[in-house]
A and B are shown apart, each in its own frame.
Chain A
Amino acid sequence: MVLLQPDPFLNELTSMFERSTEKGSVWVTLKRSSLKSKVKRNKMKTAGEAIEYRCLIRATDGKKTISTSVGAKDHQRFQASYATILKAHMTALKKRERKDKKKGAEGDKKEGGVKKPKRV
């Protein structure tokens, strides 16, 4: 697991999406974390120190895992870039309705073709 800065993470995430177009999946996990061990957290708690939580982001393509974290101050810039990357790479999803209508029309043609071949 490599903990990266947000920008290198986004670059690596982009190449993960590019590598997995023909086969494979990409997983992205968001989790709230203090990035500290439980022992340390407990020590801080008893000492009355405030624990800073950040949003931990992990991504994997099944072979390689990368991670980064964003805090309250920088999460908005990160989530904007993240959304742009998703938009650019999630191109295999279906656009709505129009295709369904076309499919319906094609289905009708096929049915017609079976009963009465037009070209003959």
Chain B
Amino acid sequence: MVYITSWDEFVERSVQLFRADPDSTRYVMKYRHCDGKLVLKVTDNRECLKFKTDQAQDAKKMEKLNNIFFTLMARGPEADVAEVTGKEHIDAQPTKKGRGRKQ
């Protein structure tokens, strides 16, 4: 199995894969502390997407992907993922407003 090297491609394709077959797609994370390695896998038992990393910054990106999959799986494949990724904007808005008022 070939690892996908581009993170954005991995995210896009895994969400696509899930939406195509929500009932049989799973998302697996493997973490190996002694080697400092993190492997992410999304598969529907026909197609398999994998992403491998040893970088701490990718763990942060993974957090977002986790949120996407939690939302998609708990709420259903039609759930709006932009809500998850755009959540930061919602959180950021009040502070922006606050700043605006002060000025």
Interchain pairs with CB closer than 8 A, number: 115
| Chain A nearest CB, measured from B83 CB (Å) | 11
* Binary contact readout B23-50 vs A (1 if CB under 8 angstroms, 0 otherwise): 1011111111111101000000000000
* Binary contact readout B53-80 vs A (1 if CB under 8 angstroms, 0 otherwise): 1111111001100110111111111000
The reply to whether A93 and B74 form a contact with Cβ atoms under 8 Å apart is no
The reply to whether B29 and A17 form a contact with Cβ atoms under 8 Å apart is no
Residues 66-106 of A contacting B (Cβ, < 8 Å) = 70-72, 75-76, 78-79, 82-83, 86-87, 89-96
How long is the Cα–Cα vector from A76 to B91 in the complex, in angstroms? 15
Contact-residue size bin, chain A (C-beta under 8 Å from the other chain): 35 or more
With A70-B70, A83-B63 known to touch, is A94 a contact of B34 (CB < 8 Å)? Answer: no
Q: List B contacts of A54 (CB < 8 A).
A: 73-74
| Chain B nearest CB, measured from A58 CB (Å) | 9
